[in-house]
A and B are shown apart, each in its own frame.
Chain A
Amino acid sequence: MKTSSDTAGSHFNQCTNPLVNQSTIYQILETVTDPEIPVISLIDLGVVREVKIENGDVEIIITPTYTGCPAMLEMEKDIYNALKKEGIEKIKVTTVLSPAWTTAWMSEEGKRKLEEYGIAPPNPTNPEDIACPQCKSKNTILMSQFGSTACKALYKCEDCLEPFDYFKCH
């Protein structure tokens, strides 16, 4: 997703607002985090799909994680406010459905941050093999496919006995 090369259009716009270029906008977006999981950025989560710059207008393309995720509206507002705060004026946040979001778009950095925060990251290679984010034991059991938010399942570690959230593969 990330690109360091600016489009011709954004070079032109640097004359008016030096902030309106791909790399600066991505840097700002790195600071916008998931409202429910404040350690992971929307970039790491894979929700931000594209940044479009045209004639100084900035359009951020995002995609929903789950259809009913109540955090989506918050994410839109947070993106808007973060860019506004940095002095960017013309901002549009557009939601697209296709291609559908998948946890495969989550960055390795994002997964690491999740685990540090106490949420087991998605494990697509072996969904049965979930390590406890506290003691790293793999002796864990699924308590419920549905957890505190739409994207998580509830697990329990049989060794340290701590319950924990698992970010479901999707």
Chain B
Amino acid sequence: MTNSPINDSTIQLFNYTLQQADTCLILGQRLAEWCGHGPILEQDIAMTNISLDLIGQARMLYQYAAEIQGEGKSEDDIAYLRHEAEYRNALLVEQPNGDFGQTILRQFLFDSYNCYFYEALMNSSDERLAAIAAKAHKETLYHLKWSGDWMIRLGDGTEGSHERMENALSELWSYSGELTIPVEAELTAQKEGYGVDMEAIRVKRDQKIKEIFEEATLAIPESDFSHLGGKDGKHTEQLGYILADLQFIQRAYPGNEW
């Protein structure tokens, strides 16, 4: 194993790449929990399709992160052998699936970020990140369309479905803001030119949320309080349970392969 000195700017690029990879992987894992449990077959398939896309995006980013790190680790090492505090995913994506409405809201709050994030990242000065973003962006357009349509259908559906969406909002709204509040790695990334302008994304995302909520007859909560810390490795208790599931095989049988 080489002992190449990783300098500060490499660490920031590594953290920036890892953050998006972790966020995609954890949401992909959450959505995969729906496999075989969806309310109807088509939506079961939709959720696992989106899960697959997100895990695919995570893989590309992990592969890149492993190269940046330069310690000879693989994408699997990074995904399976890190502890909670080393995960940099946003808190929203680790929240439980709840009912279908809660899953839809979590997905919409994420997609409305993710789609604009990749759109902007296509202009990254880092060629690899730009290439991954161009590939992933096309996929997220379908995700956003799907979750947005379901927001409207459930919000503006029956009394029961509307109530469930309101309940979901009271569970998840306070995790929404973190996605567009930049941490150090993101501020550095923007300054260095390989990252995106988080404020520009926030504006686009807020507009999309407003538009969809209006059509869904849902009121945007007044509070702008947001839980923070996920992107710096401080997580809710949920992540531990997810990793226990995700990492069990590699922890119990190191190096085991399919």
Binding site for B on A (CB under 8 A): 64, 66-70, 97-102, 143-148, 150, 154, 168, 170
Contact = CB atoms under 8 A, between A and B. Distances in A.
Given A146-B49, A146-B142, 19 more contacts: A66-B53, A66-B56, A66-B139, A67-B53, A67-B56, A67-B135, A67-B139, A68-B57, A68-B59, A70-B52, A97-B135, A98-B134, A99-B134, A101-B135, A143-B42, A144-B42, A145-B46, A154-B42, A168-B142
B54 interface: yes
Contacts of B134: 97-100
Contacts of B138: 100, 102, 170
Interface of B: 42-43, 45-46, 49-50, 52-57, 59-60, 127-128, 130-132, 134-136, 138-139, 142, 145-146
Contacts of A67: 53, 56-57, 59-60, 132, 135-136, 139
Nearest to B128: A97
B108 to A, nearest CB: 14
22 contacts: A66-B53, A67-B59, A67-B132, A68-B52, A68-B53, A68-B56, A69-B56, A97-B60, A97-B134, A98-B130, A98-B134, A98-B135, A100-B135, A101-B135, A144-B43, A146-B42, A146-B49, A146-B142, A147-B49, A148-B45, A150-B52, A170-B138
A99 B138 CA distance: 13
A147 B45 CA distance: 7
A64 B134 CA distance: 12
Given A66-B53, A66-B139, A150-B53, A145 B131 contact: no
A146 B50 contact: yes
A145 B54 contact: no
Contacts of A100: 131, 134-135, 138
Contacts of A148: 45
Given A68-B52, A97-B132, A98-B134, A146 B45 contact: yes
Given A66-B139, A144-B42, A98 B131 contact: yes
Nearest to B135: A100
A144 to B, nearest CB: 4
A145 B145 contact: yes
Contact of A146 (B56, B60, B146): B146
Nearest to A63: B135
Nearest to A69: B56
A142 B146 CA distance: 12
Contacts of A97: 60, 128, 131-132, 134-135
Contacts of A143: 42
A70 B49 CA distance: 11
A29 to B, nearest CB: 22
Contacts of A168: 142
Contacts of B54: 68
Nearest to B145: A145
Contacts of B53: 66-68, 150
Chain B CB count within 10 A is highest, among A68, A70, A168, for: A68
Nearest to A64: B135
A143 B128 CA distance: 36
The 9 residue pairs across chains A and B that have the minimum distance between CB atoms: A68-B56, A67-B56, A98-B131, A146-B46, A146-B49, A144-B42, A68-B52, A97-B131, A100-B135
Contacts of A102: 138
Contacts of B56: 66-69
